Amino acid sequence: MFCLSCGTFNESGARFCGDCGEPLVAFHAVSSHNAPPRIASLGRRIIAVILDFIVVWSVISAIVILVPRRLLEDGFARKGPAVLIPIGLCMVGLLYYVLLEAFFGATPGKGIVGIQIRRSDDEDCDFRASLIRNVLRVLDAMAVYLVGFLVALCSKSRQRIGDLAADTIVVRRPATAIVRLLLVLAWFGLAGSGFVACYVIPRH
């Protein structure tokens, strides 16, 4: 039981908070859903980052294979309208995170390891918060995510730069067995798209 006044955990059945002395009667009617969220461990978050990176890399690889080589070369050489191609590829990666976290609170990688993005007040992550935390991913991802890792390690709520700016937290929120199975199947499908594109689809 958590005291509504100071947040101290008390044994079940206690009438008064052992820390501040406030009565706990009013808290008996509060459901366990309102208990403080469990902050996700950095280990789970690292695994989720790896899983999602594989998916994004595979999807972008599949798109690259479909683009004529000449246009791709002109795009990365910043020649004419073709410069929009690398910009579009970056947008694909950004939208993967922004949309999935805004609508579902998690990407496939996060869903598989059982974590979710929430606002600091434990409300659903909205589009604005998702956009902010993912645009700032470019800062957290510096030095192979070392910057984000160190910032989160020093943060009480394990928040990286993007989370601090968006006022979001990453919590432990396991999905049901069926949902997790579907996420694993979806992950294999998306992760395999890069392999299919590279080794099955003829190069232009």
Residue-level pLDDT at 86: 87
The more confident residue out of 51 and 203 is 51
Confidence of residue 30 (pLDDT cuts 50, 70, 90): very low
| Of the listed ranges 38-47, 144-153, 170-179, 194-203, the one predicted with least confidence | 194-203
CA separation, residue 92 to residues 88, 125, 132 (Å): 6, 20, 16
The sign of the CA dihedral 5, 7, 8, 12 is positive
CA 153 to chain centroid: 17
CA dist., res. 73 & res. 69, Å (int): 6
- What does residue 115 show for φ and ψ, rounded to 5 degrees? -125, 160
pTM of structure: 0.76
pLDDT above 70 for 114: yes
The more confident residue out of 188 and 28 is 188
Confidence of residue 69 (pLDDT cuts 50, 70, 90): confident
